[in-house]
């Protein structure tokens, strides 16, 4: 179950206040799909401007109070608000913050949350978090996105487009250092988190050694990938021109068939949607639109 019943009720209530510029992000957005193994600790809402970070926090808190929720503000600055929300025995932390709108894809419509950050941007954000802090859930989430969204290598390669000043080799070694050794406390937290995962019916590793082995394989594959990719594509995602899906180049021959996508303010859809393949196949065109959160 991706959200607790209480978190789901809060997200559904606040969905009406969401826009492409104010959307659900963080772990809750990564794990909102039914097949997700982990319940998020909180609800994170990203806003594309400092002004929105303030106005949307106020709007959402007013909505919650109008519907009988107790809202206790814990932190409030011009760009960040943290509140503790509770009602009828349920509770969750909710945060609103300003986050740069420089990303690969537009936020996508979501029935449960109104709008949420695109899964690929969420995945790259999560990898950046893993490289910059020691939070056990980031390690688990990185393995999840490597399995379900995009390989670690492709995310590392694209990350310097979102986070300038972090060239792929440096970013990769930051990940290696951050995850090489976890102390007893962090290891115990990871084991406890794994024990609480909803992994029945999924292919997620069942224990910490298996997770560690899978992570090491992902890192090895990432090192191989960034050694041969052309430097002029650093900061790019690679798009399959036939399916419109983000993919990891297998080799130079495969790379020659792919399109590149760089981040933009507000995100942008790759220009592959009107290929002859899709134009002649309405079902394929609908599938492409669904893949990128479009209607129709």
For residue range 8-64, what is the model confidence (pLDDT) as tens digits? 999 999 999 999 999 999 888 887 776 666 667 789 999 999 999 999 999 999 999
pLDDT bin (cut points 50, 70, 90) of residue 291 is: low
pLDDT at 157: 97
Question: Tens digit of pLDDT for each residue in 67-86?
Answer: 999 999 999 999 999 999 99
Residue 278: its pLDDT value, please? 46
Average pLDDT value for residue range 195-220: 75
Question: Is 91 in contact with 4 (CB distance < 8 Å)?
Answer: no
Residue 293 confidence class, pLDDT cut points 50, 70, 90: very low
Largest interatomic CA distance in the chain: 59
Sketch the domain layout of the chain as residue ranges: 1-101, 231-291
pLDDT in tens, 158-174: 999 998 888 999 999 99
Give the chain's mean pLDDT. 86
Q: Does domain 1-101 have CATH number 3.40.50?
A: no
Q: How confident is the model at residue 296 (pLDDT cuts 50, 70, 90)?
A: very low
Question: What pLDDT was estimated at residue 295?
Answer: 40
pLDDT at 284: 53
Residue scoring higher pLDDT (211 or 284): 211
Q: Which two tokens stand for residue 178?
A: 């951050």
pLDDT tens-digit readout, 83-93 = 999 999 999 99
pTM recorded for the entire structure: 0.84
The residue among 147, 119, 103, 107 whose CA lies nearest residue 27 is 119
Q: Does residue 230 surpass a pLDDT of 60?
A: yes
Q: Which residue, 94, 126, 117, 99, is CA-closest to 24?
A: 117
């Amino acid at each position: 179950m991706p959200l607790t019943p209480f978190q789901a009720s809060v997200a559904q209530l606040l969905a009406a206040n969401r826009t492409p510029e104010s959307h659900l992000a963080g772990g809750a957005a990564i794990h909102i799909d039914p097949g997700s193994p982990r319940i998020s600790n909180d609800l994170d809402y990203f806003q594309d401007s400092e002004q929105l970070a303030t106005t949307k926090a106020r709007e959402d808190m007013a909505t919650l109070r109008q519907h009988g929720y107790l809202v206790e503000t814990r932190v409030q600055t011009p760009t960040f608000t943290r509140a503790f929300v509770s009602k009828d025995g349920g509770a969750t932390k909710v945060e609103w913050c300003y986050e740069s709108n420089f990303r690969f894809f537009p936020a996508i419509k979501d029935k449960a949350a109104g709008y949420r950050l695109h899964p690929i941007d969420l995945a790259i954000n999560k990898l950046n978090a893993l490289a910059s802090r020691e939070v056990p859930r980031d390690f688990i989430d990185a393995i999840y996105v490597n399995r379900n969204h995009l390989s670690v290598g492709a995310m590392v390669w694209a990350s310097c487009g979102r986070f300038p000043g972090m060239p792929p080799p440096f970013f990769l070694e930051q990940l290696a250092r951050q995850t090489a050794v976890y102390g007893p406390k962090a290891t115990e937290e990871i084991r406890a988190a794994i024990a609480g995962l909803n992994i029945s019916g999924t292919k997620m590793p069942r224990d910490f050694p298996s997770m560690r082995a899978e992570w090491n394989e992902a890192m090895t594959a990432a090192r191989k990938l960034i050694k041969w990719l052309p430097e002029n594509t650093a900061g790019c995602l690679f798009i399959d021109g036939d399916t419109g899906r983000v993919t990891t180049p297998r080799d130079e021959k495969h790379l020659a068939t792919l399109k590149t996508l760089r981040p933009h303010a507000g995100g942008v859809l790759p220009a592959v949607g009107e290929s002859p393949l899709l134009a002649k196949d309405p079902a394929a065109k609908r599938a492409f639109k669904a893949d990128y959160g479009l209607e129709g």
